Chain A
Amino acid sequence: MSIMGAINPVLTAGLDGDKSWRLQDYMARGGYAMLKKVLAEQIPAETIVAAIKASVLRGRGGAGFPTGLKWSFMPHSLSGDKYIVCNTDEGEPGTFKDRDLIHYNPHAVIEGMAIGAYAIGANRGYNYIHGEIWELYKRFEEALDEARNAGFIGQSILGSDFSFELFAHHGYGAYICGEETALLESIEGKKGQPRFKPPFPASFGLYGRPTTVNNTETLASIPFIMQMGGEAFLNLGKPNNGGTKLFSVSGHVNRPGNYELPMGTPFATLMEMCGGMRGGRKLKAVIPGGSSSPVVPAETIMKCTLDYDSISKAGSMLGSGAVIVMDETVCMVKALEQLSRFYHEESCGQCTPCREGTGWLYDIVHRIEAGEGRAGDLEILLRISENIAGRTVCALGDAAAMPVESFVRHFRDEFMYHIEHKTCLVPKEAQWAGSDFYCAEA
C-alpha cells in the first residue's frame, strides 16, 4: 500500500482492507449510494453541477480548472453521442496518485464518471489508462465488469432511463497522451498529438462530439462531494481551494508515497508525515506539482501551504500534487538534465518551438552537465525557454520551459560553476553519498 498517510481522508478513507477495490467493499463504504440517489430522485443535472461548483473542486490533473465550470460548458440541448473521458494517463515524472486510486478505489472513479455523465448528458465514457501500468488497466476492467453486472453502468441504469456505457482504454506510455486532445486522438486510433484549440472538447471532442475530459482524482471525488455537499467539501480545504487532495511525495524523504491532505495544509506538515528528510540531510529544493512546475527553493517552500494559491504565490504550481523533494546532495544541473531529457523525448514533434526547442534545451543542459558548457549557454537556455513558452499548440512546451527558467534562476551559481569548472558544485562524494545506488555499491 503506497497510501502512506492522510488527514481527514475522503478519497482514501477506509482503504485499509486488502479487498478495498472490490464492489462489495466499496458498497460497504457507502459506495454507489449517490448514483442510486441521483437516479432514484432524478436530481436535475443543474443541481449536480451547482453542487460541484459550490465545492470549488479544481481539476486534479494539474491545470486546476474548476470542474463545475468545465461541466457547464457541455451543450445539453445537442442530441447524439456525448462523452465523458477520464484521464488516467498519468505520465509526468513524480506523479503517481491516480494509479493508487485505480488500484484501491476504482469504483469511486466509476461512480464519479456515471454521475458526471448524468450531469453533463454523456452517454458513453472512456477511462484512458497509462500504458505502463497494465495490471491496473486489468484491475479497472475487472471493476467495470463488477459495476456492469451490478447494473451501475450499461443500459437503463438501475431501472432509470439513464444509460451510460463505460470502457477502459489503455495507452502505450506516451506522456503527450495525457494532454486531453492528444488523448482523444489516441482513443480514436490516431497518433497522439494535441489538437489546436479552439474548438475545445466540449464542442468538438471525441469523434467530433461534445466531450468532457477530467482527471481520475477529480472524478473519484464526485461521489463524495455529492454525499457531503459542495459546501462541506469546500470547507475541508480553504476558500477557492476545495476539498482534500492526494500528494505524491517522492525523492529524499524517509517515507515517500501518497498522502491525502486537506487543501491548505502547511508544507511542513507534509514533510513531517513523510518522516522528514532521509538521513537527516538538508532540504534543498522542491518541485511541488510534478516535473512541469517550477522548482522552489527550500526556504520558500517551507513557508507555503499546499493549495493552488499559496504555491502559485511562491512562483510555482500545485499541478498534480506530485512533490519531488531534493536534498543538498543533488546537483541541480544533473536534475535539470533529467527533466529536459524527458521533455525532449516526450515532445510529440508536431509544432516547431517544442519539437526543436526541447531538443536544443536538452543538448545544452546535457553539455553543461558533461563539462562542456560554454559562456553564454545560460542566456541561450533562457532565451530558448522564453521562445518556447506560450508559442506552442499545447502546454508541453510551457512544461519544458518552466523548469529550465526556474532552475537557472534559483540555482544559477551551480550552473555557472559547472560551466566554469566543468564539474558539479555539489561534490561528487556528496552526490554519491546521497544516492542509495552508489552507497549499495560501496
Chain B
Amino acid sequence: MLEIEINGKKAEVPEGSTIIEAAQLAGVYIPHFCYHRKLSIAASCRMCLVEVEKAAKPLPACATPATNGMRVFTHSALAVKAQKSVMEFLLINHPLDCPICDQGGECQLQDLAVGYGDTKSGFAEKKHVTEGKSAGPLVSMREMSRCIHCTRCVRFGQEIAGVMELGMAYRSTHSEITTFLGRAIESELSGNLVDVCPVGALTSRPFRYLARSWELVGHRSVSPHDSIGANITVQTKAGRVMRVLPRENDEVNECWLTDKDRFSYTALHTEERLTKPMLKQGGKWHEVSWNDALDYVAHGLKDIAANAGSDALAALAAPWATVEELYLLRKLMRGLGTDNVDYRLRRQDFSLDGKYVGASWLGMKIADVRHLDSILIVGSFLRKDHPLLTQRLRHAVQKHHAEINLISVTDDDPKLDLYTRQNVSPAGLPLALAAVVKEVAQIRGVALPELAFVPESEIAKWIAASLLRVKHKAILFGHVAEQVGTAGFLHQLGLKLAELTGATFGFLGEAANSVGGQLLGLGKETNTRQMFANPHQAYLLFGFEPELDCANPAEALTALKGAKMTALFTPFKHAPALEYADALLPLAAFTETSGTYVNIEGRVQSFAGALSPVGEARPGWKILRVLANTLNVPGFAFTGSEEVLHEAWQEAGVSVDAEGFASGLNNNLAVTPALTLPPPEEMPEGALERIADVPIYFTDPTVRRAAPLQETSSAALPDARVCAATLARLGISAGNTVIVRQGAGTARLAVAVDESVPEGCLRVAAGHPLTSALGGMFDPVFVERV
C-alpha cells in the first residue's frame, strides 16, 4: 500500500494505482473525459490535470502513478487554471446548443463545463464542423461535430469489442472519428459505444430524440437473452420502455451490454404484441376474454386427460422462462397427473437424463474467466453466442496471453487471438475431443484402451500441452456441444479431460434460465424430443415459437398439427401459430413481469416488472395461477412471485447463499464416464451434414422482432453455405438457388461458398422463418437443384 495525500486528505491506495484511482478511493473527484476505468489510458483529453508537489507542470491524473508520500492538489490555482483552459479548448469547436442535443442532460461535457468551465470564452472565430456519418441502425454518428476526440470509442473497439471499427482519421482540428471507408459498425457490442462516448457524438439511433434523461424512470432488471443474465436498467416513460442501459455489475456484465440486451426492447411496443387472448373457433380466430380463453384451455386439458390419459398432455417452456414460470408450469402439469414438461428445446441427446449430479453450469464464476491461462472451448459460435464471455476471454488474451483453443464446426471469427483452432463437422466433434483426451492420457501415463483407435493429431498435442502447462485452465462447452446428437458422450469426454488435466469443466450456457430449469429438476422424466417425436394430444407452449426455437422444427410442427389442442403463451402475435394453435394467451414481456433467472455461474437474479403489461397481457406466473385455479389444481394460492420462488426452491431442495448463488451446481455424472465412442450415425446416400447456428438476432421471439437489430448485417437472410469442394461434388455453383431438404421439410436458399464449412457439411441457420420447415439442426440434409 502507498500513502498519498490528496487535497490534504490522506489515503492508503494499492501499489500501482494512478492518481485518478487513488483520488477515487479517497473520495475526491477529478474531472476527466478520455479516462475510462475499463479502457487503456490515453491521457489525451488533459481534463484531469492536477498539481503534484515538486512537479513543475500540472500532470494528468489518469496516467501518473501514485507514489508514496505524493501530495496532490486538485483544486489549487495551478490545477484549476489547467482545467479551465482545457475546458475552454474543448468547447471552442463544440456546438453550444445543448438544448437541441440528444445527450443534453446526461452529457459529461455539459456537466463538467458547468463545474469546471468559465462562463465566458475568448473564442470568436468560426467553429470547425465535422460531417456526420452513417454507421448502421444502432449507433448514430450524425453529429460528429460534438466529438471531443477522447478516443474512448476507438479504444473500446480495439480492447473490448476486439474489432477496430472506429478510428481517428486526419490530424489537428481536422481529426475525426470515423468508420473505415464508411462502413457500418457491426460489432455485437456496438451499443456500448453510446455509453462510453461522453458527449452527444455517438448516440443510440433507436432512442434518439425520443425522451430526455430526466423524464425517464429506471427499473432494475435482468436481460433474458443469454446465459450470463446481464444486469440492466429498463428506463420507462409514460408506460413505455424507452431504452435499456447496463446496470454495472463487475461480477456479471461489468458496465457492458450486448446489442441484443440493449435494443431488444424495440420489439415491446409494436403492432405485433398480442394484447388480448385469442381462440380459434370453427377455423376462425376471435379475440376473447381471459375467462373464456382459460376456460377453453382448461376444458381442453381436462377432456384430453380424461379421454386419453394425462400422458397425452405435454408442456414445453422456453429456457428463458423464469424459475417461477417453469416451476408453476410443472406444478400445473403434475396437478393434471403428468411430468411431461421440458425447457431444453434445442437439445437432441437426452441420454444423460437421470445421471446428472447437479445442474450443468460454467464450473466457475464468470469474473474468474479472465484469470484463465489456457482454455479449450468445444463447439461454440463463441462471439455471437456469448459476446460478453468472449469479451472476458479477450481480456485474458490481451492481459496475460491466455491460450484459447477452439474446436468447433465453423471458422467464425471470435475476434480474439486463438492459440489453436480446429474446424470439424458436428459428427467429428467426439473424435477431435477424444484425440485431446488420448494425448493428455498418454502424457499422464493413463491407459485409455477405449480410445486406442483414435488417430493422433498435431492440434491435439498442442491443446494437451497448453492445458498441462498452466495452472488456471478450463474446458468449456458451447451451444453446439450441448445440442448435437453426441452431446452426452462429449460431456463424458469433457469430464475425463478435466479429470486428467485438473482443468475446470463447464458450460457456456444455452439460455437465460437453462441452469434454473435444471435446478428445478425439469425434464427428468421426459424430454422435448419424446414429447414431439411421439405426438401428444394437447400442448402447452410457453414463451417460444416452436418452428423457430426447437431442435427439430419439422418434427415439432408435425406433432402440433396433429394435436387436439395447442395453447401458446406468447407476448407476440405469431402468424404461423394461427395454423397449428387453438389458443393464444398474451404473455407479459420480460420487462412486464417479475421473476428470477439463474445464470450460468449459478447466480440467482430476481427482478421486478418495470411496467404494466401491454393491453391484457399478464405475467406468466399469474396466468398459470389462474389456469390452475380454473382447473381446480390445488396449491396455487400465490399472491406474489416471491412466494412461488420460495416454494420452488424448497421443493427442489435448492438453497441460495448469502452472495446469491444457488446450491446444486455440479457438472459431474452419477456414472463413471463411458469413453466408448458411439457408432457414427449412418449418413444416407447423397446427404450432407447440417450445421445450424442460431444467428445472434434470431435467438428468441423478442429479439426477432427488434427492428433495429433486424436491420444489421448479423440478421441477414440465411443461406446455404458450403465449401467449394463439396459444392463441386454437388455440381452446383455459388449464387444458385437450391432446395434444401430434410425429410418433408424444405427451404429455398441461395448457395454461398464458405471455405470455413467442413467438407461434407452444409451450414443453414436455424431460428429464421426461411428455414423453419427444416428438420434437426445437425441432422442429414439434402441439396437439390431448383
Contacts and interface: CB of A to CB of B under 8 A. Distances in A.
B172 A352 contact: no
A390 B149 CA distance: 20
Contact of B172 (A191, A196, A359): A359
Contacts of A331: none
Residue with the highest number of chain B CB atoms closer than 10 Å, among A356, A367, A390: A356
B214 interface: no
Interface stretch (A38-46, A122-130, A342-350, A405-413): A342-350
Nearest to A350: B44
Interface in A349-384: 349-353, 355-360, 363-364, 367, 374, 376, 380, 383-384
B173 interface: yes
A176 B45 contact: no
B172 A344 contact: yes
Contact of A359 (B49, B151, B173): B173
A174 interface: yes
A263 to B, nearest CB: 27
Contact of B171 (A174, A196, A387): A174
A352 B60 contact: no
A345 B172 contact: yes
A387 B89 contact: yes
Contact of B93 (A348, A356, A390): A356
A356 B171 contact: no
Nearest to A196: B43
Q: Mostly helix, strand, loop or mixed at chain B's interface?
A: loop
B44 A352 contact: yes
Interface in B557-578: none
Interface in B112-140: 122-126, 128
A363 B126 contact: yes
A388 to B, nearest CB: 8
B364 interface: no
Contact of A393 (B43, B93, B123): B43
B195 to A, nearest CB: 22
Given A360-B125, A363-B125, A349 B170 contact: yes
A2 B45 CA distance: 43
B401 to A, nearest CB: 13
B90 A352 contact: yes
A387 B124 CA distance: 17
A391 interface: yes
Given A358-B172, A390-B58, A349 B43 contact: no
A352 B89 contact: yes
A169 to B, nearest CB: 20
Interface string A319-351: 000000000000000000000000011111111
B82 A356 contact: no
A160 B122 CA distance: 65
Contact of A391 (B82, B149, B168): B82
A353 B57 contact: no
B42 A349 contact: no
A176 B171 contact: yes
Contacts of B41: 196
Contact of A348 (B42, B82, B88, B171): B171
Place the interface of chain B in its size category.
35 or more
A370 B369 CA distance: 62
Interface in A257-314: none
Given A387-B85, A390-B58, A391-B57, A349 B90 contact: no
Contacts of B93: 356, 359
A72 interface: no
Contact of B89 (A345, A357, A390): A357
A191 B92 CA distance: 25
A391 B172 contact: no
Interface string B86-109: 101110110000000000000000
Contacts of B43: 196, 351, 393
B42 A356 contact: no
Contacts of A176: 171
Nearest to A390: B57
B42 to A, nearest CB: 7
Residue with the highest number of chain B CB atoms closer than 10 Å, among A174, A196, A391: A391
B90 A380 contact: no
Interface in B183-210: none
A52 B88 CA distance: 46
Contacts of A393: 43-44
B122 A383 contact: yes
Interface string A398-425: 0000000000000000000000000000
B172 A347 contact: yes
Contacts of A254: none
Nearest to A357: B89
Nearest to B175: A349
Given A359-B172, A380-B122, A349 B49 contact: no
B125 A364 contact: yes
Nearest to B60: A196
Contacts of A363: 125-126
Contact of B86 (A364, A380, A391): A391
A344 B124 CA distance: 17
B589 interface: no
Interface string B149-180: 10100000000000000011011111100000
A360 B92 contact: yes
A348 B149 CA distance: 11
Contacts of B82: 391
A349 B168 contact: yes
22 contacts: A196-B60, A196-B63, A345-B172, A349-B170, A349-B174, A350-B42, A351-B45, A352-B45, A352-B46, A352-B89, A352-B90, A353-B85, A353-B89, A355-B149, A355-B172, A356-B173, A358-B172, A367-B125, A390-B56, A390-B57, A390-B58, A391-B57
Those 5 A-B pairs whose CB atoms lie nearest each other, nearest first: A349-B175, A387-B85, A356-B89, A196-B43, A359-B173
Given A345-B171, A387-B88, A392-B46, 14 more contacts: A196-B42, A196-B44, A196-B60, A348-B171, A349-B149, A351-B46, A352-B47, A355-B175, A357-B89, A358-B172, A359-B172, A359-B173, A387-B85, A391-B85
Interface of A: 174, 176, 191, 196, 344-353, 355-360, 363-364, 367, 374, 376, 380, 383-384, 387, 390-393
